Amino acid sequence: MPTIKIVEVGPRDGLQNEAVQLNTATKLELIQRLAASGLRHIEAGAFVSPRWVPQMADSLAVLQGLDLNAGIHYPVLVPNEQGLERALAVGVREIAVFAAASETFSQKNINSSIADSLRRFEPVLQRAQAEHIQVRGYVSCVLGCPYEGKIAPAQVAAVAASLTAMGCYEISLGDTIGVGTPRAVKALLEVVSQHVPMAQLAGHFHDTYGMALANIHTALQAGIMTFDSSVAGLGGCPYARGASGNVATEDVVYLLENEGYATGVNLADLVQTAWFIADALGRTPASRLSRVLGR
C-alpha cells in the first residue's frame, strides 16, 4: 500500500489565525495528542515577529516542551536569520521558509518583495545546511491571491525552483485562500513539475470554498504524495483576508485510507483530538467527519 506523508499544520497554521490565544500547555497537549494519533510531521510553531503574529509568541516554550529526539518531525516557520537563531537555540531539527508567488501578498505577509525574500533566505539555507537542519519551502498564493487575483503557474514554478536550488528538500504549494479547483491544480502541477520533481512537491490546500478534498484527489492522481492539513480544519493566514482553515486532517485521512493509501494515523484518536482543540477554542470542528463521529 503506498504511503502518503501528512504534514499536520494545525498547531501553527491553525492556531496562528485564532482570536483565542491558547496557553502553551494546551498547545503542547494538542501536539502530544496529534503525535499519539500517529502523525509523524507536526509543524509546531513559528519563529516570526511576535508583533506580526502574536499567537506564535510562545513558540519557544512550545518547542522546549517537546522531545525533539523522539523520531517525530517538528518543523517551525522561520522568516529570516533571526528566526533561525531562535530555532537553533532550542534544538529544532527542521525549519520551513516561506515565500509567495504574489508580490503584494509577499509584501503584506513578510514585508518584502519576492526577490528580496529569496535573497533573505539564502543565508538561512546556508546556515541551516551547515547545522544539518532540514529546510522545507512554502510558496503561497499558488492558485490565487487575495490582492492580485489569478497567479500564473510559471510564476509559482520560478519561486519553487529558486527555493529548491537554494536547498529546500520539499516545496509545499499553498492555496492560501482556497480558490483552486481541480482543473487549475492539474494545470499548475503540470508546469511546476517541469522545474521541481513531483516527488519533492506537497499540496497545502485551504478549504475556503470547500474544494480542498477535490484538489487533493486531483493532486494525488498527478503524483503528489505529501499533503499538509490541519486537525479540525483550524487555520488561515492573518495576512490573507478571507483565508479560512486548512483542509481538516481527519477528512484527508478518511479519503486517503479509503482510496488505498496508508497514512499511519488512527482516525478515532484524531477525531478525539479534533474535539479536544475545538472545545479549547469554544467551537465545533470544521470537519464534517468529526461532527458525524462526535466525541
Binding site for Mg ion (CB under 5 A): 13
Burial class (CB in 10 A: 0-12, 13-18, 19+), 107: middle
In the complex with Mg ion, the residue whose CB is nearer, 241 or 295, is: 241
Which amino acid belongs to residue 76? Answer: V
Q: Please report how close the Cβ of residue 115 comes to ligand HMG at its closest, in angstroms.
A: 15
Judged by beta carbon distances under 5 to 8 A according to partner kind, the member of Mg ion, ligand HMG, none in contact with residue 218 is none
Residue 94 touches which of ligand HMG, Mg ion, none (Cβ within 5-8 Å per kind): none
Q: In angstroms, what CA-CA distances link 219 with 74, 146, 176, 199, 215?
A: 24, 22, 16, 12, 6
Q: In this chain, which residue has its C-beta nearest to ligand HMG?
A: 174
Residue closer to Mg ion (CB basis): 100 or 293: 100
Shortest CB 123 distance to ligand HMG, Å: 13
- How many CB atoms are closer than 10 A to CB 132? 7
Q: Are 63 and 92 in contact (CB under 8 A)?
A: yes
DSSP-H helix ranges across 223-266: 249-258
DSSP state of 232: G
Residues that bind ligand HMG (CB under 6 A): 13, 16, 46-49, 52-53, 77, 79-80, 82-83, 86, 98, 109-111, 138, 140, 174, 176, 204, 206, 237, 239
Cβ 220 to ligand HMG, closest distance in Å?
A: 19
In terms of CB distance, is 176 or 272 closer to ligand HMG? Answer: 176
**Catalytic residue status for 145:** no
CA distance 159 to 170: 13
- Which residues are known catalytic residues? 237
